[in-house]
Structure 1
Amino acid sequence: MNRPKVILYVSASIDGRITMGTNATMFDAFQQPELYNMMGTMEDWAGFTKAIKELYQPDMFLEGSHMVISETAELTKLPDYDGDPSELYQDFLPEDILRRPGRKTWTSLIDGRGRFRNGYNAECDDPETNMVYLSTQTAPPEYLAFLRSRNLPYMLEGKGRVNLPRMLEKVRTKLNVQTIATSSSGMLSGALIRSSLMDEINILFNPLVIGGFTIPTLFASPEPKCPSILPSRLRLLDLQTLKNDRLWLRYQVLNDR
Protein backbone atom coordinates (compact mmCIF):
# COMPACT_ATOMS: atom_id res chain seq x y z
CA MET A 1 0.00 0.00 0.00
CA ASN A 2 1.32 3.42 -0.99
CA ARG A 3 0.62 5.37 2.17
CA PRO A 4 2.46 7.67 4.59
CA LYS A 5 4.21 6.42 7.69
CA VAL A 6 1.84 6.83 10.67
CA ILE A 7 3.10 7.71 14.15
CA LEU A 8 1.06 7.84 17.37
CA TYR A 9 2.15 10.05 20.24
CA VAL A 10 -0.01 10.26 23.33
CA SER A 11 -0.01 10.90 27.06
CA ALA A 12 -1.65 8.28 29.28
CA SER A 13 -1.99 7.08 32.84
CA ILE A 14 -0.44 3.80 33.95
CA ASP A 15 -3.83 2.12 33.47
CA GLY A 16 -4.01 3.38 29.90
CA ARG A 17 -6.56 6.15 30.38
CA ILE A 18 -6.11 9.08 28.04
CA THR A 19 -8.39 11.64 29.69
CA MET A 20 -10.25 12.31 32.92
CA GLY A 21 -13.86 11.83 31.85
CA THR A 22 -16.32 10.22 29.46
CA ASN A 23 -16.95 12.19 26.24
CA ALA A 24 -14.13 14.59 27.14
CA THR A 25 -12.41 16.65 24.45
CA MET A 26 -9.06 18.40 24.31
CA PHE A 27 -10.74 21.58 25.58
CA ASP A 28 -11.62 20.03 28.95
CA ALA A 29 -7.99 20.51 30.01
CA PHE A 30 -8.53 24.28 29.86
CA GLN A 31 -11.73 24.07 31.90
CA GLN A 32 -10.29 21.85 34.65
CA PRO A 33 -6.55 22.60 34.71
CA GLU A 34 -5.98 21.38 38.28
CA LEU A 35 -7.32 17.94 37.38
CA TYR A 36 -5.74 17.60 33.95
CA ASN A 37 -2.34 18.86 35.09
CA MET A 38 -2.01 15.55 36.93
CA MET A 39 -1.52 14.10 33.43
CA GLY A 40 1.21 16.66 32.78
CA THR A 41 1.22 20.40 32.26
CA MET A 42 0.89 22.21 28.95
CA GLU A 43 4.66 22.71 29.08
CA ASP A 44 5.21 18.95 29.50
CA TRP A 45 3.05 18.22 26.46
CA ALA A 46 4.71 20.95 24.40
CA GLY A 47 8.12 19.45 25.16
CA PHE A 48 6.94 15.97 24.18
CA THR A 49 5.41 17.29 20.95
CA LYS A 50 8.61 19.15 20.09
CA ALA A 51 10.62 15.96 20.57
CA ILE A 52 8.21 14.04 18.30
CA LYS A 53 8.51 16.69 15.59
CA GLU A 54 12.30 16.61 15.75
CA LEU A 55 12.38 12.81 15.67
CA TYR A 56 9.92 12.18 12.83
CA GLN A 57 9.54 15.52 10.99
CA PRO A 58 5.86 14.84 10.15
CA ASP A 59 4.27 16.76 7.31
CA MET A 60 0.71 16.04 8.47
CA PHE A 61 -0.91 16.08 11.92
CA LEU A 62 -4.05 13.95 12.12
CA GLU A 63 -6.79 13.99 14.75
CA GLY A 64 -10.18 12.37 15.21
CA SER A 65 -13.34 14.39 15.63
CA HIS A 66 -13.79 13.06 19.18
CA MET A 67 -10.76 15.13 20.16
CA VAL A 68 -12.55 18.38 19.37
CA ILE A 69 -16.29 17.74 19.72
CA SER A 70 -18.08 15.54 22.21
CA GLU A 71 -20.40 12.83 20.97
CA THR A 72 -23.15 14.43 23.04
CA ALA A 73 -22.54 18.00 21.86
CA GLU A 74 -25.29 19.88 20.03
CA LEU A 75 -24.26 20.50 16.42
CA THR A 76 -24.00 23.99 14.99
CA LYS A 77 -26.91 24.56 12.61
CA LEU A 78 -25.80 25.27 9.04
CA PRO A 79 -27.89 26.76 6.21
CA ASP A 80 -29.58 24.23 3.96
CA TYR A 81 -27.83 23.71 0.63
CA ASP A 82 -30.19 24.27 -2.30
CA GLY A 83 -27.75 23.78 -5.19
CA ASP A 84 -26.63 20.68 -7.07
CA PRO A 85 -25.13 18.47 -4.33
CA SER A 86 -23.16 16.33 -6.79
CA GLU A 87 -20.51 19.02 -7.18
CA LEU A 88 -19.92 18.97 -3.43
CA TYR A 89 -18.97 15.29 -3.35
CA GLN A 90 -15.68 15.82 -5.14
CA ASP A 91 -12.41 16.44 -3.33
CA PHE A 92 -11.93 20.16 -2.74
CA LEU A 93 -8.25 21.16 -2.84
CA PRO A 94 -7.94 24.86 -3.74
CA GLU A 95 -4.74 25.70 -5.57
CA ASP A 96 -4.18 28.83 -3.50
CA ILE A 97 -4.04 26.67 -0.38
CA LEU A 98 -1.92 23.93 -1.95
CA ARG A 99 0.62 26.48 -3.12
CA ARG A 100 0.37 28.97 -0.27
CA PRO A 101 3.80 30.43 0.50
CA GLY A 102 5.03 29.40 3.92
CA ARG A 103 2.79 26.36 4.31
CA LYS A 104 4.95 23.34 5.20
CA THR A 105 2.53 20.89 6.81
CA TRP A 106 -1.11 19.88 6.94
CA THR A 107 -3.38 19.61 9.95
CA SER A 108 -6.21 17.17 9.33
CA LEU A 109 -9.37 16.00 11.04
CA ILE A 110 -11.21 12.72 10.49
CA ASP A 111 -14.85 13.80 10.54
CA GLY A 112 -16.99 11.35 8.60
CA ARG A 113 -20.30 12.83 9.76
CA GLY A 114 -19.43 16.51 9.45
CA ARG A 115 -19.82 17.38 13.13
CA PHE A 116 -17.00 19.90 13.64
CA ARG A 117 -18.38 23.12 12.19
CA ASN A 118 -16.46 26.14 13.44
CA GLY A 119 -14.45 26.83 10.28
CA TYR A 120 -11.05 26.31 11.88
CA ASN A 121 -8.22 26.61 9.34
CA ALA A 122 -5.17 26.01 11.64
CA GLU A 123 -3.23 28.79 9.89
CA CYS A 124 -4.47 31.21 12.53
CA ASP A 125 -2.47 29.32 15.16
CA ASP A 126 0.48 28.30 12.99
CA PRO A 127 1.14 29.95 9.59
CA GLU A 128 3.19 26.93 8.52
CA THR A 129 0.16 24.63 8.42
CA ASN A 130 -3.38 24.48 7.00
CA MET A 131 -6.44 22.38 7.72
CA VAL A 132 -7.67 19.66 5.40
CA TYR A 133 -10.84 17.89 6.46
CA LEU A 134 -11.17 14.15 5.81
CA SER A 135 -14.78 13.07 5.46
CA THR A 136 -17.10 10.73 3.59
CA GLN A 137 -19.45 10.51 0.63
CA THR A 138 -22.34 10.55 3.09
CA ALA A 139 -21.37 13.77 4.88
CA PRO A 140 -24.23 16.31 4.98
CA PRO A 141 -24.23 18.58 1.90
CA GLU A 142 -24.61 21.68 4.07
CA TYR A 143 -21.37 20.72 5.87
CA LEU A 144 -19.41 20.36 2.63
CA ALA A 145 -20.90 23.60 1.30
CA PHE A 146 -19.83 25.30 4.53
CA LEU A 147 -16.24 24.09 4.09
CA ARG A 148 -16.18 25.36 0.52
CA SER A 149 -17.58 28.72 1.56
CA ARG A 150 -14.64 29.05 3.97
CA ASN A 151 -12.14 27.84 1.34
CA LEU A 152 -11.29 24.89 3.58
CA PRO A 153 -9.85 21.88 1.73
CA TYR A 154 -11.49 18.49 2.12
CA MET A 155 -11.20 14.96 0.75
CA LEU A 156 -13.83 12.22 0.78
CA GLU A 157 -13.51 8.45 1.10
CA GLY A 158 -16.02 5.91 2.37
CA LYS A 159 -19.64 5.99 3.48
CA GLY A 160 -20.67 6.49 7.08
CA ARG A 161 -17.08 6.15 8.23
CA VAL A 162 -13.92 7.33 6.55
CA ASN A 163 -12.24 4.52 4.63
CA LEU A 164 -8.85 4.87 6.29
CA PRO A 165 -6.71 2.75 3.92
CA ARG A 166 -8.02 4.57 0.85
CA MET A 167 -7.84 7.96 2.55
CA LEU A 168 -4.20 7.47 3.53
CA GLU A 169 -3.37 6.46 -0.03
CA LYS A 170 -5.10 9.61 -1.28
CA VAL A 171 -3.25 11.78 1.24
CA ARG A 172 0.00 10.39 -0.12
CA THR A 173 -0.82 10.75 -3.81
CA LYS A 174 -2.69 14.08 -3.75
CA LEU A 175 -0.84 15.92 -0.98
CA ASN A 176 2.51 14.10 -1.10
CA VAL A 177 2.40 13.47 2.64
CA GLN A 178 5.25 11.24 3.81
CA THR A 179 4.75 11.05 7.59
CA ILE A 180 1.59 11.48 9.66
CA ALA A 181 1.70 12.13 13.40
CA THR A 182 -1.48 11.67 15.41
CA SER A 183 -2.12 12.34 19.09
CA SER A 184 -5.68 11.03 18.80
CA SER A 185 -5.74 7.84 20.81
CA GLY A 186 -8.89 5.92 21.59
CA MET A 187 -11.19 5.32 18.63
CA LEU A 188 -8.91 6.65 15.88
CA SER A 189 -5.78 4.89 17.09
CA GLY A 190 -7.81 1.72 17.56
CA ALA A 191 -9.09 1.89 13.99
CA LEU A 192 -5.61 2.59 12.63
CA ILE A 193 -3.90 -0.27 14.43
CA ARG A 194 -6.68 -2.76 13.65
CA SER A 195 -6.29 -1.83 9.97
CA SER A 196 -2.49 -2.30 10.11
CA LEU A 197 -2.05 1.39 9.33
CA MET A 198 0.10 2.36 12.32
CA ASP A 199 3.88 2.12 12.24
CA GLU A 200 5.19 3.46 15.55
CA ILE A 201 3.71 4.19 18.98
CA ASN A 202 5.01 6.75 21.46
CA ILE A 203 3.39 6.71 24.89
CA LEU A 204 4.21 9.22 27.60
CA PHE A 205 3.19 7.34 30.74
CA ASN A 206 2.28 9.46 33.76
CA PRO A 207 2.62 8.13 37.33
CA LEU A 208 -1.06 7.94 38.23
CA VAL A 209 -4.02 5.59 38.02
CA ILE A 210 -7.27 7.20 36.84
CA GLY A 211 -9.68 4.26 36.84
CA GLY A 212 -13.27 4.58 35.72
CA PHE A 213 -15.58 2.31 33.74
CA THR A 214 -16.26 4.47 30.68
CA ILE A 215 -13.18 6.71 30.44
CA PRO A 216 -11.46 6.24 27.05
CA THR A 217 -8.31 4.13 26.83
CA LEU A 218 -5.35 4.11 24.46
CA PHE A 219 -6.89 1.86 21.80
CA ALA A 220 -10.65 1.46 21.38
CA SER A 221 -11.15 -1.34 18.88
CA PRO A 222 -13.01 -4.62 18.34
CA GLU A 223 -12.04 -7.47 20.64
CA PRO A 224 -9.51 -10.02 19.34
CA LYS A 225 -11.04 -12.96 17.51
CA CYS A 226 -8.89 -15.70 16.05
CA PRO A 227 -7.97 -15.81 13.26
CA SER A 228 -9.54 -12.63 11.84
CA ILE A 229 -8.63 -10.11 14.56
CA LEU A 230 -5.36 -10.70 16.37
CA PRO A 231 -3.46 -8.52 18.86
CA SER A 232 -0.81 -6.29 17.31
CA ARG A 233 2.72 -7.26 18.27
CA LEU A 234 5.23 -4.52 19.09
CA ARG A 235 9.01 -4.17 19.32
CA LEU A 236 10.56 -1.80 21.84
CA LEU A 237 12.68 0.85 20.14
CA ASP A 238 13.49 3.13 23.06
CA LEU A 239 12.70 3.85 26.70
CA GLN A 240 13.40 7.17 28.38
CA THR A 241 12.87 8.22 31.97
CA LEU A 242 11.72 11.84 32.12
CA LYS A 243 11.26 14.27 34.98
CA ASN A 244 8.45 13.81 37.50
CA ASP A 245 8.65 10.00 37.15
CA ARG A 246 7.29 9.92 33.61
CA LEU A 247 8.28 7.27 31.06
CA TRP A 248 8.46 7.66 27.28
CA LEU A 249 8.06 4.30 25.59
CA ARG A 250 8.62 4.05 21.86
CA TYR A 251 7.50 0.96 19.96
CA GLN A 252 7.52 -0.27 16.39
CA VAL A 253 4.30 -1.94 15.28
CA LEU A 254 5.02 -5.29 13.63
CA ASN A 255 2.43 -5.24 10.86
CA ASP A 256 3.00 -8.87 9.89
CA ARG A 257 -0.48 -10.24 10.41
Structure 2
Amino acid sequence: MAKRPIVTLFLMTSVDGKISTGASDLLDVDRDFSTLDGVKEGLHQYYELEAQTDLWSLNTGRVMQKIGVNERTEAPEPMGVSFVIVDNRPHLDQNGVSYLCRWVRNLVLVTTNREHPAFSIQEKNLRIIYQENLHLTQLLEQLAEEHNVERLTVQSGGTLNGLFLREKLLDYVNIVVAPVLIGGKDTSSLIDGPSITERSQLDRLGVLQLERCEVLAHSYLHLCYRVVR
Protein backbone atom coordinates (compact mmCIF):
# COMPACT_ATOMS: atom_id res chain seq x y z
CA MET A 1 0.00 0.00 0.00
CA ALA A 2 1.34 3.43 -0.96
CA LYS A 3 2.13 5.84 1.82
CA ARG A 4 -0.30 8.65 2.56
CA PRO A 5 -0.61 11.24 5.34
CA ILE A 6 -2.60 10.67 8.52
CA VAL A 7 -5.77 12.69 7.91
CA THR A 8 -7.72 14.53 10.61
CA LEU A 9 -11.03 16.27 9.94
CA PHE A 10 -11.10 19.39 12.15
CA LEU A 11 -14.04 21.78 12.14
CA MET A 12 -16.41 23.73 14.34
CA THR A 13 -20.06 22.74 14.15
CA SER A 14 -23.35 23.64 15.73
CA VAL A 15 -25.01 21.08 18.01
CA ASP A 16 -26.98 19.87 14.98
CA GLY A 17 -23.82 19.44 12.91
CA LYS A 18 -23.99 22.53 10.70
CA ILE A 19 -20.76 24.18 9.53
CA SER A 20 -22.44 27.29 8.15
CA THR A 21 -25.11 29.59 9.57
CA GLY A 22 -27.27 29.25 6.44
CA ALA A 23 -27.54 28.23 2.80
CA SER A 24 -25.73 31.22 1.33
CA ASP A 25 -22.10 32.16 0.81
CA LEU A 26 -22.96 35.46 2.53
CA LEU A 27 -23.40 33.50 5.77
CA ASP A 28 -20.34 32.22 7.58
CA VAL A 29 -19.74 30.55 10.95
CA ASP A 30 -16.53 32.46 11.74
CA ARG A 31 -18.09 35.82 11.00
CA ASP A 32 -21.62 35.20 12.29
CA PHE A 33 -20.83 33.35 15.52
CA SER A 34 -18.83 36.38 16.66
CA THR A 35 -22.09 38.40 16.71
CA LEU A 36 -24.22 35.96 18.74
CA ASP A 37 -24.58 36.45 22.49
CA GLY A 38 -23.97 33.14 24.24
CA VAL A 39 -21.79 31.91 21.37
CA LYS A 40 -19.22 34.64 20.78
CA GLU A 41 -17.87 34.41 24.33
CA GLY A 42 -16.31 30.97 23.77
CA LEU A 43 -15.41 31.30 20.11
CA HIS A 44 -11.74 32.00 20.83
CA GLN A 45 -11.31 28.42 22.05
CA TYR A 46 -11.81 27.08 18.54
CA TYR A 47 -9.05 29.30 17.14
CA GLU A 48 -6.73 28.33 19.98
CA LEU A 49 -7.24 24.65 19.12
CA GLU A 50 -6.92 25.38 15.40
CA ALA A 51 -3.47 26.85 16.04
CA GLN A 52 -2.41 23.42 17.34
CA THR A 53 -3.41 21.47 14.24
CA ASP A 54 -1.06 19.99 11.62
CA LEU A 55 1.44 22.01 9.61
CA TRP A 56 -0.41 21.02 6.43
CA SER A 57 -4.06 22.01 6.03
CA LEU A 58 -6.48 21.12 3.21
CA ASN A 59 -9.31 23.44 2.26
CA THR A 60 -11.25 24.63 -0.79
CA GLY A 61 -11.15 27.66 -3.05
CA ARG A 62 -14.77 28.33 -2.14
CA VAL A 63 -13.88 28.69 1.53
CA MET A 64 -10.95 30.94 0.65
CA GLN A 65 -13.26 33.09 -1.46
CA LYS A 66 -15.73 33.32 1.44
CA ILE A 67 -13.06 34.64 3.79
CA GLY A 68 -12.15 37.29 1.22
CA VAL A 69 -8.67 36.42 -0.04
CA ASN A 70 -9.55 37.59 -3.57
CA GLU A 71 -10.09 41.12 -2.27
CA ARG A 72 -7.17 41.34 0.14
CA THR A 73 -4.42 43.75 -0.84
CA GLU A 74 -2.54 44.22 2.43
CA ALA A 75 0.70 42.37 3.08
CA PRO A 76 -0.23 39.36 5.23
CA GLU A 77 1.72 38.20 8.23
CA PRO A 78 3.27 34.96 6.95
CA MET A 79 2.13 31.72 8.57
CA GLY A 80 4.24 28.65 9.16
CA VAL A 81 1.41 26.45 7.87
CA SER A 82 1.21 25.05 4.33
CA PHE A 83 -2.11 24.88 2.45
CA VAL A 84 -3.55 22.38 0.01
CA ILE A 85 -6.43 24.12 -1.79
CA VAL A 86 -8.88 22.24 -4.02
CA ASP A 87 -10.36 24.70 -6.50
CA ASN A 88 -12.06 23.74 -9.74
CA ARG A 89 -14.63 26.39 -10.71
CA PRO A 90 -12.44 28.49 -9.99
CA HIS A 91 -13.37 30.40 -6.87
CA LEU A 92 -9.89 31.91 -6.56
CA ASP A 93 -8.65 34.62 -8.92
CA GLN A 94 -5.05 35.69 -9.56
CA ASN A 95 -5.04 38.05 -6.59
CA GLY A 96 -6.39 35.35 -4.30
CA VAL A 97 -3.74 32.84 -5.33
CA SER A 98 -0.96 35.43 -5.03
CA TYR A 99 -2.19 36.47 -1.61
CA LEU A 100 -2.20 32.85 -0.43
CA CYS A 101 1.37 32.42 -1.70
CA ARG A 102 2.45 35.39 0.43
CA TRP A 103 0.44 34.16 3.42
CA VAL A 104 1.36 30.47 3.74
CA ARG A 105 4.62 28.56 3.74
CA ASN A 106 3.75 26.38 0.74
CA LEU A 107 0.66 26.37 -1.46
CA VAL A 108 -0.40 23.25 -3.34
CA LEU A 109 -3.34 24.10 -5.58
CA VAL A 110 -5.33 21.12 -6.86
CA THR A 111 -7.64 21.64 -9.83
CA THR A 112 -9.47 19.89 -12.66
CA ASN A 113 -9.67 23.22 -14.53
CA ARG A 114 -6.95 23.76 -17.15
CA GLU A 115 -7.89 27.44 -17.30
CA HIS A 116 -7.33 28.09 -13.60
CA PRO A 117 -5.67 31.51 -13.06
CA ALA A 118 -2.99 29.88 -10.90
CA PHE A 119 -1.32 28.57 -14.09
CA SER A 120 -0.33 32.14 -14.97
CA ILE A 121 1.37 32.81 -11.62
CA GLN A 122 5.05 32.24 -10.92
CA GLU A 123 5.75 31.83 -7.21
CA LYS A 124 8.51 29.72 -5.66
CA ASN A 125 6.17 28.24 -3.05
CA LEU A 126 3.31 27.44 -5.49
CA ARG A 127 2.80 23.89 -6.80
CA ILE A 128 -0.15 23.08 -9.05
CA ILE A 129 -1.52 19.54 -9.27
CA TYR A 130 -3.81 19.04 -12.24
CA GLN A 131 -6.17 16.06 -12.27
CA GLU A 132 -8.69 15.18 -14.99
CA ASN A 133 -11.06 14.21 -12.17
CA LEU A 134 -10.48 14.76 -8.49
CA HIS A 135 -8.77 11.67 -7.07
CA LEU A 136 -8.19 12.09 -3.34
CA THR A 137 -6.22 8.89 -2.76
CA GLN A 138 -3.79 9.79 -5.54
CA LEU A 139 -3.54 13.34 -4.19
CA LEU A 140 -2.66 12.16 -0.69
CA GLU A 141 -0.02 9.82 -2.06
CA GLN A 142 1.50 12.68 -4.06
CA LEU A 143 1.56 14.91 -1.00
CA ALA A 144 3.40 12.25 0.95
CA GLU A 145 5.87 11.40 -1.81
CA GLU A 146 6.61 14.86 -3.21
CA HIS A 147 6.16 17.10 -0.15
CA ASN A 148 6.87 14.72 2.74
CA VAL A 149 3.43 15.42 4.22
CA GLU A 150 3.01 13.07 7.17
CA ARG A 151 -0.10 14.59 8.77
CA LEU A 152 -2.87 16.61 7.13
CA THR A 153 -5.76 18.54 8.69
CA VAL A 154 -8.89 18.76 6.53
CA GLN A 155 -11.07 21.85 7.10
CA SER A 156 -13.11 21.85 3.91
CA GLY A 157 -16.81 22.01 3.09
CA GLY A 158 -19.35 19.24 3.61
CA THR A 159 -19.23 17.90 0.05
CA LEU A 160 -15.46 17.37 -0.01
CA ASN A 161 -15.58 16.03 3.55
CA GLY A 162 -18.10 13.51 2.26
CA LEU A 163 -15.63 12.31 -0.38
CA PHE A 164 -12.98 11.76 2.30
CA LEU A 165 -15.52 9.74 4.29
CA ARG A 166 -16.73 7.56 1.41
CA GLU A 167 -13.20 6.87 0.20
CA LYS A 168 -12.16 5.81 3.73
CA LEU A 169 -9.45 8.46 3.96
CA LEU A 170 -10.25 9.91 7.38
CA ASP A 171 -8.20 8.67 10.34
CA TYR A 172 -9.40 11.09 13.03
CA VAL A 173 -12.34 13.46 13.50
CA ASN A 174 -11.76 16.43 15.79
CA ILE A 175 -14.82 18.64 16.38
CA VAL A 176 -15.48 21.78 18.38
CA VAL A 177 -19.21 21.96 19.11
CA ALA A 178 -20.64 25.45 19.60
CA PRO A 179 -23.74 25.91 21.80
CA VAL A 180 -26.16 26.78 19.03
CA LEU A 181 -28.79 25.12 16.82
CA ILE A 182 -28.93 26.24 13.19
CA GLY A 183 -31.23 23.94 11.23
CA GLY A 184 -32.10 24.09 7.54
CA LYS A 185 -31.93 21.10 5.20
CA ASP A 186 -29.93 23.11 2.66
CA THR A 187 -27.38 24.38 5.19
CA SER A 188 -24.02 22.65 4.88
CA SER A 189 -23.24 19.98 7.47
CA LEU A 190 -20.01 18.40 8.64
CA ILE A 191 -20.50 15.64 6.06
CA ASP A 192 -22.60 16.24 2.94
CA GLY A 193 -22.62 14.69 -0.51
CA PRO A 194 -24.75 11.81 -1.82
CA SER A 195 -26.66 9.78 0.75
CA ILE A 196 -26.57 6.02 0.91
CA THR A 197 -29.85 4.44 -0.18
CA GLU A 198 -29.42 0.73 0.52
CA ARG A 199 -28.42 -1.39 3.50
CA SER A 200 -25.71 -2.93 1.34
CA GLN A 201 -23.95 0.47 1.50
CA LEU A 202 -23.68 0.58 5.30
CA ASP A 203 -19.98 -0.19 5.02
CA ARG A 204 -19.59 3.33 3.62
CA LEU A 205 -20.44 4.84 7.02
CA GLY A 206 -17.67 6.08 9.29
CA VAL A 207 -17.75 4.35 12.66
CA LEU A 208 -15.98 6.35 15.37
CA GLN A 209 -14.34 5.60 18.69
CA LEU A 210 -14.28 8.45 21.19
CA GLU A 211 -10.76 9.17 22.40
CA ARG A 212 -11.31 12.40 24.31
CA CYS A 213 -14.17 14.67 25.32
CA GLU A 214 -13.40 18.06 26.81
CA VAL A 215 -16.00 20.38 28.27
CA LEU A 216 -14.78 23.85 27.38
CA ALA A 217 -15.85 27.20 28.78
CA HIS A 218 -19.12 28.86 27.74
CA SER A 219 -20.87 25.53 26.94
CA TYR A 220 -18.50 24.51 24.12
CA LEU A 221 -17.37 20.89 23.66
CA HIS A 222 -14.21 19.46 22.10
CA LEU A 223 -14.74 15.93 20.78
CA CYS A 224 -11.86 13.80 19.47
CA TYR A 225 -12.61 10.53 17.65
CA ARG A 226 -10.59 7.85 15.92
CA VAL A 227 -12.13 6.39 12.79
CA VAL A 228 -12.60 2.64 13.21
CA ARG A 229 -11.45 0.68 10.17
TM-score (norm: length of structure 2): 0.80
Q: Give the match's secondary structure for 2:100.
A: coil
Residue 210 (structure 2) aligned to one of 209, 220, 236: 236
Shift of 1:175: 0.8
- Partners of 2:135 and 2:183 in 1: how far apart? 32
Output one character per residue of 1:124-181: Cα deviation in whole Å (capped at 9) or x when no partner: 445xx22221112xx13352432x345532112233xx21111111111111100001
The one of 213, 225, 229 equivalent to 1:251 is: 225
The 5 Å alignment of 1:44-55 reads: 44-50=45-51, 52-53=52-53
Task: Tell me the alpha carbon deviations over residues 99-126 of structure 1, each in whole angstroms, 9 at most, x when there is no partner.
Answer: xxx9964211111333311224535445
Q: Deviations over 1:2-25 (max 9, x none)?
A: 211111111111111111121337
Aligned partner of 2:199 in structure 1 is 226
- Identify the match of residue 117 of structure 2 among 140, 143, 153: 143
Q: 2:100 aligns with which of 109, 122, 127?
A: 122
**Which deviates the most, 28-37 or 149-158?**
28-37
**What's 2:169 paired with?**
197
Contact kept in structure 2, 1:62 and 1:109, CA below 8 Å: yes
Deviations 1:42-72 (A, max 9, x none): 522221213x43xxxx2311102331236xx
1:177 aligns with 2:149: yes
Where do residues 152-171 of structure 1 align in structure 2 (5 Å cutoff)?
A: 152-159=126-133, 162-171=134-143
Matching of residues 74-113 of structure 1 within 5 Å: 105-113=81-89
Map of 1:200-211 to 2, 5 A cutoff? Answer: 200-211=172-183
Listed as ranges, the gaps of 5+ residues in structure 1 are 77-101
Question: Is contact 2:39-2:218 (8 Å) kept?
Answer: no
Q: CA deviation at 1:226?
A: 3.4
Q: Which runs of 4+ in 1 moved over 6 A?
A: 25-28
Once residues 168 and 246 of structure 1 are traced to their aligned partners in structure 2, the CA distance between those partners, rounded to angstroms, is 32
Rg (Cα) greater in structure: 1
What secondary structure does 1:109 align onto?
A: strand
Q: For residue 5 of structure 2, what is the aligned residue in structure 1?
A: 4
- What RMSD, in angstroms, separates the aligned Cα atoms of the two structures? 3.0
Distance 1:24 1:41, change over 3 A: farther
TM-score, normalised with respect to structure 1: 0.72
Cα distance in structure 1, aligned partners of 2:122 and 2:214? 46
The CA distance in 1 between the partners of 2:186 and 2:158, in whole Å, is: 12
Q: Give the Å deviation of 1:191.
A: 1.0
AA aligned opposite 1:227:
S
Aligned pair count? 214
SS of the aligned residue for 2:141 comes to helix
